[in-house]
Amino acid sequence: MEQNRDFSSHGNASLIIGVDVGGTKIAAGLVDRDGQVSGRVKIPTDTSHPAKTLQAIADAISGVMQEAVVSAAQIKAIGLGIPGIVDPVRGTCLFSANLGWENVAVQDWLEQATGLPCAIENDVSAGALGESLYGAGQGQRQMVYLSLGTGIAARAIINGQLYNGAHGMAGEIGHLMCDPTGPRCRCGAIGCLEALAAGPALAEAAQQKIQDGSASPLLLKQLQHPEEQMRAEHVFAAAALGDSVAHQIIQRAARYLAYGLSFLVFTYDPQCIVIGGGLATEQSPLMTAIHQETARWIAQSPVARGRIGADIIRPARLQQDAGIVGAGALILAQERTQ
């Protein structure tokens, strides 16, 4: 793999730090070779200026060393998952809407600031590696990871290697056009999967029901006060109480997601698709609906039927530490190929 870098030159240091850079918080910790995390640090992301954000990342890294009582000399390398378009070879973030970054030389800056080797990747790519090495995709040479939250994106592991494509876009199915008459996506295009089935789309659909007077009292009761913004969690809570309007909203999103999943199945033909992200907890009614819709699609498809089962869809196993483990996995995956 061309993005492989040799971290073995950094003395006898063996410890790895994983940093999950989010739009609101930075989570970091030591990741061991069993994917276990220690020395956790969580600090707010300062997005007022790229230099401030980078400094906050450097602070999180030194925070981990303090928390775990280790010195820089013991650290082999640092892996970072970044929410945006990343050039892992040059170590730059080309664009991140969440961080307000454009062409930020993350790797150079951090290597100078910390004196340690760093590797960066897109956060979904890091998540895919994490689930592949330590989570629900363990032992599968062909797998796809789908992140379902405020946005939607997937990454494939092909023959055990992360596949980003020629422009880092392989798996960006959040912007797969699903309905040419659908709503406008935040990317500017019409009817993207994300605009139909991500968290804000579920909230928007519920908001619409309130506006046109068709929301049920159960759905309305989820809001503490009339000005509170509807969120996907409110829709889930109403559905769990048996609300039929919330249930319809979720089922509709799941139908679009099953379409996205069928696209991933036929594109990558994976052994499994691991679904993670904020909307994909095991108890989430959206996951239940996704399982139903996928099973229905498989039963209807003569191509898929008999070759794959509904168990091709699996919930992610790495939960609260997923971002940190994924970032650490960037280094650990390279170690395994050296």
Q: Interface residues with Zn ion (CB under 5 A)? A: 175, 185, 187, 189, 192
Whether 61 and 78 have beta carbons less than 8 Å apart is answered as: yes
Q: Least separation, in Å, of the C-beta of 179 and Zn ion?
A: 12
Q: How far is CA 29 from the centre of its chain?
A: 18
Nearest distance from C-beta of residue 168 to Zn ion, angstroms: 16
Tokens describing residue 235: 């829709």
For residue 288, the minimal CB distance to Zn ion (Å) is 26
Closest approach, Cβ 284 to Zn ion, in A, equals 23
> What is d(CA 266, CA 264) in angstroms, rounded to the nearest whole number?
6
Closest to Zn ion by CB, 190 vs 210, is 190
Nearer to Zn ion, 15 or 193 (CB): 193
Smallest distance from the beta carbon of 266 to Zn ion, in angstroms? Answer: 21
Compute the Cα dihedral for 167, 123, 134, 287 and give only its sign. Answer: negative
**C-alpha to C-alpha distance for 227 and 320, rounded to whole angstroms:** 30
| Beta sheet of 25-31, edge-to-edge order | 37-44, 25-31, 15-21, 75-82, 118-122
CB of 194 to Zn ion, least distance (A): 5
Return the number of the residue (149 or 160) whose C-beta is nearest Zn ion: 149
We find the least distance from the C-beta atom of residue 182 to Zn ion, in angstroms, to be 10
Instruction: Look up residue 75 and give its two tokens.
Output: 């650290």
HEC letters along 175-205: HCECCCCCCECCCCCECEHHHHHCHHHHHHH
Q: Which is nearer to Zn ion, 110 or 197 (CB)?
A: 197
Least distance to Zn ion, CB of residue 193, Å: 8
Nearer to Zn ion, 174 or 323 (CB): 174
Query: Nearest to residue 80, comparing CAs of 100, 67, 97, 64?
Result: 64
Q: Which is nearer to Zn ion, 116 or 198 (CB)?
A: 198
Cβ-based nearer residue to Zn ion, 82 or 196: 196
Of 228, 299, 219, residue with least CA distance to 262: 299
Whether the CA torsion 298, 302, 304, 307 is positive or negative: it is: positive
Separation CA 313–CA 295 (nearest Å): 10
**Burial class (CB within 10 angstroms; exposed 0-12, middle 13-18, buried 19+) of 53:** buried
